[in-house]
A and B are shown apart, each in its own frame.
Chain A
Amino acid sequence: MNRLQIDLPGLSLKNPIMPASGCFGFGREYSRFYDLSKLGAIMIKATTEMPRFGNATPRVAETPAGMLNAIGLQNPGLQKVVEEELPFLQQYDVPIIANVAGSTIEDYVEVAKEISKVSNVHALELNISCPNVKEGGIAFGTQPEVAYAVTKAVKDVSEVPVYVKLSPNVTNIVEIAQAIERAGADGLTMINTLLGMRLDLKTAQPILANGTGGLSGPAIKPVAIRMVYEVSQNVNIPIIGMGGVQSAEDVLEFFYAGASAVAVGTANFVDPYICPTLIDDLPPLLDKLGIEHISECIGRSWKK
């Protein structure tokens, strides 16, 4: 028995660990460290219809137990991702979750329609919560009616299940999640980064060229756990949880909160081997806690 096997819409995961979008490029760099087939899935970097250069540098700044980034969805555009990046990942036995971004609903629809046709793309992650782009991005993810509209439009054209990535930068995340569920989303991924800022002591100006950035890393884990806990009790679609995961214990905590799989972001930068390490660390942790299968842990914190 594979104690780590998890089945979600479109995704048959040999384990629940996957690198988070934006923290793993299109897999090439990490393929130099280990066999990517070991991963449960890969969430590739956000893809927009046209190439994007992203924001000016500096694009990263450190914070205690975390980092701010303002990359700005830099990517080579839909055509190159389909022709050059996704074929590279064909050699690995791992489902791909393609992160779809845009400035208008039409952009999202165009990217979703084309990228969902690629054979190794098993699901989409709709990026309506990136805090670092001025148009689109977070604007779609903070208003229930807009989140509903973009999710529905993408769901209508996608050939694979659609997961929607929620922003934590909202007052009522449950309201947004429920709107997205009503629009037909197959699952949720949460959370994206928290909007933050750091100032330089000498110049008094923001360290990031963009001014603000998205906070990630262990510093945001309690916020992510709280939000997964709240949302999972109020929707009937699965959640891929993320936000500061860096140990097998963190993975189980997300499961207890209600997640059915977990994505790893910032920790990849600290340790390029973190994903396979977590996969190896999970079975002994399950043994220690007397848990036969990891799926028993989903929502354990609130299930009676």
Chain B
Amino acid sequence: MKKAYMNIVSHEKIARNIYEMTLQGELVSLMNHPGQFVHIRVGDSLDPILRRPISIAKINKEEQTFTIVYRAEGKGTLLLSQKKIGDLVDVLGPLGNGFSINTVPTGEKALIVGGGIGVPPLLELSKQLNAVGIETIHVLGFQSKEDVFYEQQFLSLGDTYIATVDGSYGTEGFVTNVLNDNPFSFHTVFSCGPTVMLKVIEEKYSTNYPVFLSLEERMGCGIGACFACVCHRKDDPTGFTYRKVCTDGPVFPAGEVLI
């Protein structure tokens, strides 16, 4: 975990309001686990003042680059979207614990379920799983055809199914429509996306499979000091034990925290 200024080497719009930014710098040498995130300062002014937590979508150690994908919709991410190649970005990271890929036995299959802006960290996860001989099935949900991204990149790693809420591309409906229609065979489930989706995945699979969920919460510091992103443990919902999304997560095994 370090703070460094990193150089933007590519920055482009890849879907409706969705941007992909690749940054270069020594910080990449610390990035190892898929599902980790960085905390980015979007500008030098005081509005907005806080950093933005954004997940790591790709790590390229050889080129010392990593890639983030974000939706430009708020003040901070809109400012970030205006940055140009060659600009320097203040990055704090890598933060959080990410997905543990050695929970899947070699030769087994992993089911990867993503929704919207929860999809990006699952790409690096799938790459790393495939690199150690684990097959991956991807089920990705978006609002509409214009919102779909990274389909080809996931296809190059394994079977990939797309659902769109309005039915303009792939299966009409949610990721659950794809999951209900296809009797996939797998060993472990990894998921990142809207809370409502994570709840459904937890209910559907956690009785019979190991399930790992990446959570999102508003953060202050991103390093565990401010207690802004604290959640209850499931085995103690009204008690005083807790987990911090920023440092204990953002990835938790299903059943560990209340979502």
Contact with A along B227-239 (1 / 0, CB 8 A): 1111110000001
Within 8 A of A (CB), among B41-56: 41, 46-51
B226 interface contact, C-beta 8 A: yes
> Can you name 6 A-B pairs with beta carbons within 8 Å?
A29-B247, A53-B239, A57-B218, A65-B46, A65-B47, A71-B227
Within 8 A of A (CB), among B3-39: 3
Count class of interface residues, chain B: 20 to 34
Stretch touching chain B among A150-158, A252-260, A268-276, A281-289? A268-276
B88 interface contact, C-beta 8 A: no
Within 8 A of A (CB), among B203-259: 217-232, 239-240, 242, 247
A-B CB proximity, top 6 nearest:
A65-B46, A25-B225, A51-B240, A64-B47, A29-B225, A269-B221
B228 & A272 in contact (Cβ 8 Å cutoff) = no
A60 interface contact, C-beta 8 A: yes
Give the complex CA separation of A62 and B231 in angstroms: 20
Which of B48, B222, B225 lies in contact with A24, CB distance below 8 A? B225
B92 interface contact, C-beta 8 A: yes
B230 & A74 in contact (Cβ 8 Å cutoff) = yes
Dominant SS among interface residues on chain A = loop
Give the complex CA separation of A271 and B4 in angstroms: 11
Q: How close is B45's CB to chain A, nearest CB, in angstroms? A: 9
Known contacts being A60-B218, A268-B221, A273-B3, is A23 close to B226, with CB within 8 Å?
A: yes
Give the complex CA separation of A77 and B240 in angstroms: 10
A66 interface contact, C-beta 8 A: yes
B49 & A218 in contact (Cβ 8 Å cutoff) = yes
Residue of A nearest to B90 (CB): A271
B155 interface contact, C-beta 8 A: no
- Residues of chain B within 8 A (CB-CB) of A23 are 221, 225-226
A57 & B229 in contact (Cβ 8 Å cutoff) = yes
Residue of A nearest to B1 (CB): A32
B1 & A59 in contact (Cβ 8 Å cutoff) = no
Residue of B nearest to A270 (CB): B49
A17 interface contact, C-beta 8 A: no
A235 interface contact, C-beta 8 A: no
B41 & A25 in contact (Cβ 8 Å cutoff) = no
Give the complex CA separation of A76 and B232 in angstroms: 14
A270 & B218 in contact (Cβ 8 Å cutoff) = no
B49 & A61 in contact (Cβ 8 Å cutoff) = no
Which of B49, B221, B223 lies in contact with A65, CB distance below 8 A? B49
Which of A24, A69, A266 lies in contact with B49, CB distance below 8 A? A266
Within 8 A of B (CB), among A233-282: 266, 268-273
A196 interface contact, C-beta 8 A: no
A217 interface contact, C-beta 8 A: yes
Q: How close is A84's CB to chain B, nearest CB, in angstroms? A: 14
B231 & A57 in contact (Cβ 8 Å cutoff) = yes
Residue of B nearest to A59 (CB): B228
A206 interface contact, C-beta 8 A: no
Contact with B along A44-65 (1 / 0, CB 8 A): 0100000111100111111011
A53 & B226 in contact (Cβ 8 Å cutoff) = no
Give the complex CA separation of A29 and B227 in angstroms: 12
Q: How close is A266's CB to chain B, nearest CB, in angstroms? A: 7
Known contacts being A71-B228, A269-B51, is A58 close to B218, with CB within 8 Å?
A: yes
- Residues of chain B within 8 A (CB-CB) of A58 are 217-218, 228
- Residues of chain A within 8 A (CB-CB) of B226 are 22-23, 25, 60, 69, 71, 269
Q: How close is A240's CB to chain B, nearest CB, in angstroms? A: 20
Known contacts being A54-B230, A57-B218, A65-B47, is A271 close to B223, with CB within 8 Å?
A: no
- Residues of chain A within 8 A (CB-CB) of B51 are 269-270
B49 & A62 in contact (Cβ 8 Å cutoff) = yes
Residue of B nearest to A80 (CB): B240
A88 interface contact, C-beta 8 A: no
Q: How close is A99's CB to chain B, nearest CB, in angstroms? A: 14
A302 interface contact, C-beta 8 A: no
- Residues of chain A within 8 A (CB-CB) of B229 are 57, 59
Give the complex CA separation of A58 and B229 in angstroms: 8
B46 & A59 in contact (Cβ 8 Å cutoff) = no
